């Protein structure tokens, strides 16, 4: 019975590799389809925060003239769109539409003392046009919260009295300023409304009127302000999100998704789904960066965002800056104009993006269509992922290969019924861990075949030839520590071959990942690959486990020897160094890591040189050391530890393709560049080693000759 089970296990192993290869082949058409989708949106849009412009104007001698002049400059430099927020008394006051007084301030206008039992808000309109445009907005905004509003006038100017404190009135949102909307439309700008969920309860009639007005103004997209989208708070009671989605589809208005906000806006994923993913990604340049960064740095950021992260909207912020040194109030507008439109000394973002194939206009959504054949291929890819995960389990516990396969199939079926997105992400993470781990273990197995001889797995135990077994000692791992008989040239050719095939196996995992996550939600980062931290550690840990436990006489024998090792101060120091390096490595993993200024300069150099920046940890560290380690491993057993470092580079290959919001062509070029540059640096390291080894041999021969004399 046991022999039959082992025979089935061996047959299943071959079958699983075949299923894995079929899954990879099924993923390739999905990758080509995704590449086609990524080419359907090639227009970028520069958006300026109109509220910031109004704020800056409040520090100028003639605010309205200043705004009109800056709008002309923005249009000339390539800024196409203005973001307009919901109206507030503060913004309307800065714009010169009205003046707000407290009860005490209003009494002072009449030369009277402040009233004892009154804390109201007094509003005085700037002119009759402002009154006609703004008064209806105020009345509609305060009616739902039952604040009494009545007429008031002073000095021949019309106004209102709101029976609520100024502090409360100031935070109550209203419909966007209609005068500003008309002014911006006449100036030739597109409008990007910024709506919040603070106008509660959701009013379907007013929302319909607002969307109709937006459509008349040519609005193509809405950017939400705050932690949740409009209608999210009342969805349970009023189905407000569903209603808003119907309005957006009716008037052909999309949404914008903000990159790298700490918490995704609640309800945005549902709203995007209900509008058939009429969405575009937006990068926001902070107020601090607008003022502090050079125009060249800002423009390079925009180009990189468009090329590498499918960003199509660039949101520009700016605020007044109090300068003690220059004794005045400054602003970053000229710096932004130079970044967008360029200057005499530096080309701007508009020109650089044009060189990269992007034109300035109106950001379009990706055009996608998930046909039935794509769904069928994704099922095949899922089978390939299950197979490669089972192979990983079988590598460490051969007896569990068949159970792992059956458990994977049953678990996947259950997850499919429960949550298909969770199934995709679980299989993608499993395949992302399995492929680079198996790739490095395969490379190590080939090294062992070239050095210790062919080894086969029998009943879960690793057995070697009688000669190799006889050569073992009681030291850790046992066996030989140096291998003779293979010349340097042959070792180099073998190392290069192993280096290439290992990368191919890792790329198989990358194909399974992008095949499973072939969905517009991942391209827009409404969903994203989960388990980045686990992917960054698991292949390294599993490879280390294999190197230290699975490359000797038996797993238990190596484990026993490890437990009997004497711990020295050197070991403790080495562990501390490894721990610090590991923490730094984890801190740089994912999208949250921070790069130093020197590293940013180096990154820009790589970007400008190659057009696509290869990952530093791949081409400078992991890949070169892997190639050197392969070369040395064919002669020195101690060099097998280089396989642990190699796992870092192989998992990074797969991790690169897990960033679905990055164009797949960019990911492929980045990986190939990393492998190519890593191979060149690795060959240089091998040359240095050979030279050093030759010098050492010559020196030892000389010393030996002198002693013999």
Of 655, 432, 470, 447, which Cα lies nearest the Cα of 547? 447
**3-state secondary structure string across 281-337:** EEEEECHHHHHHCCHHHHHHHHHHHHHHHCEEEEEECCCCEEECCCCEEECCHHHHH
* pLDDT of amino acid 548: 84
* pLDDT of amino acid 47: 97
* pLDDT of amino acid 315: 97
* pLDDT of amino acid 46: 97
Provide the b/e sequence for 91-111 (b: ≥16 CB within 10 Å): bbbbbbbbbbbbbeebbeeee
Terminal Cα distance for the chain, rounded: 69
Structure tokens at 497: 């071959």
Domain ranges across the chain: 43-86+178-360, 87-174, 419-702
The residue to which tokens 């300026």 are assigned? 48
DSSP letter, residue 613: P
Which positions of the chain have pLDDT values less than 50? 456-474, 592-593
Of 362, 358, 365, which Cα lies nearest the Cα of 305? 358
Alpha-carbon distance of 19 to 25, in angstroms, equals 10
Which residues, including other chains, have CB under 8 Å from residue 271's CB and lie 6 or more apart?
Answer: 229, 231, 241, 244, 245, 248, 255
* pLDDT of amino acid 457: 40
Of 598, 455, 456, which Cα lies nearest the Cα of 9? 456
Taking the domain 43-86+178-360, which CATH number applies? Answer: 3.20.20
Alpha-carbon distance of 453 to 94, in angstroms, equals 82
Alpha-carbon distance of 619 to 428, in angstroms, equals 25
Alpha-carbon distance of 633 to 639, in angstroms, equals 5
The residue to which tokens 């197995």 are assigned? 445
The residue to which tokens 């340049």 are assigned? 285
Our CA dihedral for 411, 417, 422, 424, rounded to 10 degrees, sits at 80
Q: Are strands 311-316 and 43-49 parallel, antiparallel or unpaired?
A: parallel
* pLDDT of amino acid 603: 67
Structure tokens at 623: 């890949």
The residue to which tokens 């703004």 are assigned? 134
State pTM to two decimals: 0.86
Q: Within 10 Å of residue 251's Cβ, how many Cβ atoms?
A: 16
* pLDDT of amino acid 583: 61
Structure tokens at 236: 């349970």
Alpha-carbon distance of 467 to 449, in angstroms, equals 14
Of 179, 184, 178, which Cα lies nearest the Cα of 72? 184
* pLDDT of amino acid 11: 79
Alpha-carbon distance of 337 to 318, in angstroms, equals 12
Of 651, 16, 657, which Cα lies nearest the Cα of 393? 16
* pLDDT of amino acid 592: 47
Tell me if 101 sits within 8 A of 120, measured CB to CB.
no
Tell me if 274 sits within 8 A of 243, measured CB to CB.
no
């Amino acid at each position: 019975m046991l022999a039959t089970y082992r025979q089935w296990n061996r047959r299943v192993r071959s079958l699983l590799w075949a299923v894995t290869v079929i899954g990879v082949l099924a993923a390739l058409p999905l990758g080509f389809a995704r590449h086609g989708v990524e080419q359907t949106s090639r227009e970028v849009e520069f958006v300026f925060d109109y509220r910031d412009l109004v704020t800056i104007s409040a520090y100028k001698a003639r605010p309205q003239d200043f705004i009109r002049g800056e709008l002309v400059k923005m249009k000339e430099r390539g800024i196409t769109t203005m973001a307009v927020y919901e109206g507030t008394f503060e913004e309307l006051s800065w714009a010169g539409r009205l003046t707000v007084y407290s009860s005490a301030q209003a009494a002072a206008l009449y030369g009277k003392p402040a009233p004892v039992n009154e804390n109201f808000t007094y509003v005085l309109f700037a002119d009759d046009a402002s009154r006609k445009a703004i008064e209806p907005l105020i009345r509609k905004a305060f009616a739902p919260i039952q604040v009494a509003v009545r007429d008031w006038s002073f000095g021949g100017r019309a106004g209102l009295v709101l029976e609520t404190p100024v502090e409360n009135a100031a935070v109550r949102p209203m419909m966007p300023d209609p005068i500003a909307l008309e002014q911006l439309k006449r100036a030739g700008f597109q409008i990007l409304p910024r709506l919040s969920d603070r106008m509660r309860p959701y009013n379907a009639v007013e929302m319909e009127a607002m969307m109709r007005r937006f459509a008349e103004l040519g609005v193509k997209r809405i950017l939400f302000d705050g932690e949740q989208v409009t209608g999210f708070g009342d969805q349970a009671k009023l189905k407000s999100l569903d209603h808003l989605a119907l309005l957006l589809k009716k008037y052909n208005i999309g949404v914008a998704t903000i990159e790298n906000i700490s918490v995704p806006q609640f309800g945005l994923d549902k709203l995007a789904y209900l509008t058939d993913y009429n969405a575009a990604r937006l990068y926001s340049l902070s107020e601090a960066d607008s003022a502090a960064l050079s125009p060249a740095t800002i423009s390079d950021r925009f180009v990189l965002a468009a090329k590498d992260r499918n960003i199509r909207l660039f949101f520009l912020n700016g605020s007044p800056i109090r300068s003690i040194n220059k004794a005045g109030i400054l602003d970053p507008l000229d710096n932004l104009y130079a970044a967008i439109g360029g200057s005499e000394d530096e080309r701007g973002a508009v020109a650089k993006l044009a060189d990269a194939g992007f034109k300035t206009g109106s950001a379009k959504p990706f055009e996608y269509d998930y046909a039935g054949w794509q769904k069928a291929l994704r099922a095949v890819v899922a089978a390939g992922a299950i197979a490669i995960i089972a192979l990983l389990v079988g590598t460490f516990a051969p007896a569990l290969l068949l159970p792992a396969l059956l458990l994977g199939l049953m678990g996947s079926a259950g997850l499919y019924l429960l949550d298909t997105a969770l199934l995709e992400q679980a299989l993608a993470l499993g395949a992302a861990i399995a492929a680079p781990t198996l790739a490095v273990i395969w490379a190590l197995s080939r090294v062992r075949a070239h050095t210790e001889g062919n080894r086969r797995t029998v009943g879960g135990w690793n057995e070697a030839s009688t000669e190799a077994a006889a050569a073992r000692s009681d030291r850790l791992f046992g066996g030989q520590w140096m291998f003779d008989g293979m010349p340097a040239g042959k070792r180099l050719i073998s190392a290069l071959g192993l280096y290439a095939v290992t990368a191919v196996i890792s790329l198989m995992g990358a194909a399974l990942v992008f095949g499973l996550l072939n969905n517009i939600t991942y391209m827009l980062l409404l969903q994203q690959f989960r388990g980045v931290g686990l992917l960054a550690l698991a292949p390294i840990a599993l490879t280390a486990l294999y190197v230290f436990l699975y490359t000797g006489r038996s797993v238990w024998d190596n484990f026993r020897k490890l437990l009997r090792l004497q711990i020295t101060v050197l070991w403790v120091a080495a562990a501390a160094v490894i721990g610090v390096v590991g923490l730094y490595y984890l801190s740089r993993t994912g999208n949250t890591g921070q790069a130093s200024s020197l590293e940013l300069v180096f990154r820009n150099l790589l970007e400008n040189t190659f057009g696509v920046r290869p990952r530093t940890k791949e081409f400078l560290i992991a890949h070169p050391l892997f190639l050197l380690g392969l070369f040395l491993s064919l002669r020195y057993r101690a060099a097998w530890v280089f396989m642990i470092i190699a796992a870092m580079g192989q998992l990074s290959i797969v991790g690169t393709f897990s960033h679905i919001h990055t164009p797949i062509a960019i990911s492929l070029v980045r990986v190939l560049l990393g492998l190519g540059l890593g191979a060149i640096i690795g060959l240089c390291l091998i040359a240095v080693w050979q030279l050093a080894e030759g010098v050492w041999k010559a020196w030892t021969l000389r010393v030996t000759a002198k002693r013999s004399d």
